[in-house]
Amino acid sequence: MSEQELFGSMAQTIIDGDVAAAEALARQSLEAGIDPLASINQGFRPGLDEVGRGFDEGHYFLPDLVLGGKVMEAAVDILQEGMEEGAMDQASLGKVLIATVEGDIHTIGKDLVALMLSLNGFEVINMGHNVPTMTIVERVIEEKPDILGLSALLTTTTQAQRDVIEALDDVEFGKSVKVLIGGAATSSEWAQEIGAAGYAEDASAAVVKAKQVLGIG
């Protein structure tokens, strides 16, 4: 099986909701020396994105989304060992508060971003999913993070990203924290429209963007 065929099979396990097959393919990729992050971003994540789009369009339902997330979690648990082996201890590059916005149960993509930021030297506080706007704002005031990451998988929940930014401005905290957004329903254009500091399409891009907005070379 070629690398691309392996990635295609990984994506299909998410669509099929097959935990055992996903775990087997994750182990196979590690044994083959494939970069764990490549397996996530090019293999399993496209399958999760497909389920997310299908849910948004009404082709898939909540149980499909939840099952896809469980399959992804099982694969990432195995692949994470490979990523952590390559991580190096270093001083914190900055504090990041991250959450999936109110009304959105999406968590896997956000958790991958949190993991990659942590492995690359950031202190990460993961608030979870479906977090109310004012709960995020209150936590920002309490923790004073350098970066706030807001994830939205569904087009119906992207407005909550704007709500958080506007609420931060209302309490005069908007300029003290850099807001980065992500999720299947978002884009760089949306980030610019709502006044976010930037957009990241995946976990690797989130690390690059986080360093960029903080001026870290």
Strands 95-100 and 147-151: parallel
Measured distance CA(61)–CA(87) in Å, rounded: 37
The torsion defined by the Cα of 157, 201, 11 and 158, in degrees rounded to 10, comes to 0
101 and 77 within one domain: no
* Tens digits of residue pLDDT in 50-69: 887 888 788 888 888 889 88
Regarding whether 113 and 61 lie in a shared domain, the answer is no
| Number of structural domains the chain divides into | 2
Say whether both 62 and 122 belong to one domain.
no
59 and 133, same domain (yes or no)? no
pLDDT in the model for residue 86:
54
pLDDT digits (tens, 9 = 90+) for 77-87: 898 777 765 55
Query: Of 64, 85, 106, which one is at a domain's C-terminal end?
Result: 85
Left if phi > 0, otherwise alpha if psi is -120 to 50, otherwise beta: which for 95? beta
In a domain, 90, yes or no: no
**Surface-to-core class of residue 86, CB atoms within 10 Å of its CB (0-12 exposed, 13-18 middle, 19+ buried):** exposed
Quick one: 66 and 100 in the same domain?
no
- Overall average pLDDT of the 94-118 stretch: 90
CATH of the domain at 73: 1.10.1240.10
Q: Which residues of 58-70 are buried (b: 16+ CB within 10 A; e: fewer)?
A: eebeeebbebbbe
What range defines the domain where residue 108 resides? 95-213
